[in-house]
Structure 1
Amino acid sequence: MIYPELHFTGQVWRPPYEANSQLLQITSGCTWHKCKFCSLYHGTTFRMSPLSEVESDLKVIREWQPWARRVYLTGANPFALSYNKLMEIAILLRKYLPYMESFGMFARVTDITPKSVEELKNLRHMKLDSINIGIETAHDLTLERMNKGYHASDILEQLSKLDEAGIRYNVFYLNGLGGKGYGVESAIASADLLNRLHPCIINIVSLTVFPESQLYQEVLDGTYEEEPE
């Protein structure tokens, strides 16, 4: 018997607490791809899955997992899609998986910017109930040095919109990202900002500099010194 396959391209990541979720590829790669420390999507060009491909995968899921309650949309930041595209995907999810209770995905802080609170509320009504966001830190000097593409004020503004819209969000704090001597500053700045927001989960992970990252070269040439334990 030949089993149908879902479309998955490049690296596929999901948070540990999404282990029981049905995965569905919406994008592959990252829209930004400029963070100095990141090698998660090394070698994978950003691609948005055509709706025809998404629908094809949903037909397979409906056949093999018709009772799926939770769907996690894969890709570095599927929330980069426009509001209208996300609504089209939400409609397809409800069409093919009538027992689905919720869906979630990864996002960059800047993916939230073009979406109004009203649009976010509409997506919440369509069962988008949580987003995972790698803020990394709220220390502006580190954000700038690592080419994150936003500042702490942007984190506060955009995640506050999620609070208002009733969409839960989990954040990732990257311990040691600022390099030697900036650990305390980064921790205090991040704690101050997160105390003004309402994250559901704060995931604390530690920096590992991989050879594929731009930061690795800075370690080799001595312009970046890692924070010790």
Structure 2
Amino acid sequence: MVLTSQQHQQIRNYIFDAPKYTETYNEVYDHIVNALEDKEEVYSIELVTGIVNGDFGGFNEIRRQEELYQKQINKKYAKLFLTELADSFKWPCLLSNVANLMLCFCIYWSSTNSSFNTKPMMIAIFSCFMLITIYMYSQMWIRKTRNKKYSIFDNSSGSLSTFGLFIGIFVFNWFVSDDSLISISQHSKVIVLLTLYFFCSIYVRAFRKFYKQKIKILIA
């Protein structure tokens, strides 16, 4: 069977609202088209329905499978990101950590001899965290605008992109701000802030490597 452009569009319209994510939508569409091309029958929307029900178990089953795949991806993405964090302590990434630790030591040593303004460092750290979050969510919005659907990977990527910002806000409110929940000395605030900076440097490098990774998921 050779499908016309109108028939291709009819198939797209028929299945569009069933899958939630663009990856599953494209794979369901490609599967249906390939299955129809192998048939010698006359095209009808009933044939499409038969393929959806026979090969996928219906639209409800497609949505259920998407939920399962989303959970799998969440676990895989979390594991992959933690692996990237751990790898930052291996050679040659270890050199960057050593350099950052030396910088932290120099800043702390300077703060013991004179007053240290923590605001510029706080602004720099939060800028890094926010840039990652803004970039990730802008990419999600662009994909949603282009494909009319979210990617199945967006939920995991979005959560991990806000993880650093969450840690930063937590540390700031609990230890660093003028009205922090836990009162500590100025020198202790500098140590906490330098620790947050060191984490930020690892987080940014790990997220950059993590974002380049690809996880393939097939539904059929």
Pick the TM interval, shorter chain. under 0.3
User: Higher strand proportion, which one?
Assistant: 1
- In the superposition, the TM-score normalised over structure 1's length comes to 0.21
> Looking at CA atoms only, which structure, 1 or 2, has the larger radius of gyration?
2
Greater helix share, 1 or 2?
2
Greater relative contact order, per chain length (Cα 8 Å cut-off, separation 6+): 2
